[in-house]
Structure 1
Amino acid sequence: MIRLEDVHLFIRSALLGSFSAAAREASLLPAQVSAAIRRLERDLDTRLFARSTRSLRLTAEGEKYLPFAREMLSAMQAGAESLRTSEQDFQGELKIAMPSDVGRNVLLPVITDFCRSHPRISLRLFLSDHVSDIFRDPVDIAIRYGVLNNRDYVALPLAPENRRVLVASPAYLDEHGRPESLEDILHHPCLAFTLNNTFVDKWSFPVNGAVQELPVAARLLCDDADVARRWAIEGMGIVYKSWLDVCHDVQNNRLEVVLPDQAGETAPLNLICPHRKQFSPAIRTLHSNLEEHLAAITRALDHYTGFGEQH
Structure 2
Amino acid sequence: MQRTDMGGLAMFIAVAEERSFTKAAARLGVSQSALSHSIRRLEQRLDLRLLTRTTRSVGLTEAGERLMETVAPAFEEIDAKIVSLTELRTRPAGTVRISTSEHAARTLLWPAVDIITREHPDVKVELNIQSGLTDIVAERYDAGVRLGERLDQDMVAVRIGPRLRMATVGSPTYFEQHGVPAAPADLTDHACINLRMAGGSIYQWEYEKDGRELKVKADGQLVLNDVDLILKAVLSGHGIAHLVEDRVAPLVEDGSLVRILEDWCDPFDGYYLYYPSRRQPSAAFSLLLGALRYRE
Q: Does TM-score exceed 0.5, indicating one fold?
A: yes
State the TM-score, normalized to the length of structure 2: 0.60
Q: Give the superposition deviation at 1:186.
A: 2.1
Q: Which of 79, 93, 96 is 2:95 aligned to?
A: 93
2:134 matched residue in structure 1: 132
The 1:132/1:85 distance shift into structure 2, 3 A limit, reads same
SS at match of 2:125: strand
C-alpha displacement of 1:291: 4.8
| Residue 216 in structure 1 maps to residue 218 in structure 2 | yes
Measured after TM superposition, the shift of residue 172 of structure 1 is 3.5
Partner-residue secondary structure (3-state), 2:196: strand
Q: What is residue 192 of structure 1 aligned with on the other side?
A: 194
Report the count of equivalent residues.
211
Name stretches of at least 5 consecutive residues in structure 1 with no aligned partner.
1-80, 296-311
Measure the CA separation in 1 of the matches of 2:224 and 2:115. 31
1:111 maps to which of 110, 113, 123: 113
TM-aligned CA distance change 1:126 to 1:148, over 3 Å = same
Q: CA deviation at 1:271?
A: 0.8
**What secondary structure sits across from 1:161 in the alignment?**
coil
Q: 1:250 to 1:85 in 2, by over 3 A?
A: farther
Q: Can you list the C-alpha shifts for 1:213-238, whole angstroms capped at 9, x where unaligned?
A: 21222421123344323433443222
Deviation, 1:126, is 0.8
Give, in angstroms, the shift of residue 253 of structure 1: 4.7
Say yes or no: does 1:283 pair with 2:285. yes
Q: Does the 8 Å CA contact 1:101/1:226 hold for their aligned counterparts? A: no
Flag the 1:121–1:247 CA change in 2: closer, same or farther, 3 A: farther
* Cα distance in structure 2, aligned partners of 1:285 and 1:134: 20
Say whether residues 1:206 and 2:205 are aligned partners.
no
CA distance in 1, matches of 2:271, 2:223: 24
> Structure 1 residues 131 and 172 mapped into 2: Cα distance closer, same or farther (>3 Å)?
same
TM-score under structure 1 length normalisation? 0.57
- Per-residue CA deviation, residues 142-201 of structure 1 (Å, 9 max, x unaligned), is 112250352221111123521222123344445443322222222221111122313235
Q: Report 1:24-43 matches (<5 A).
A: none
Partner of 1:141: 143
Counterpart-to-counterpart distance in 1, 2:95 and 2:253? 35
RMSD: 3.1
Aligned pair partner of 2:184 in 153, 176, 182: 182
Contact 1:100 1:127 in 2 (8 A): yes
Determine the structure 2 residue equivalent to 1:261.
263
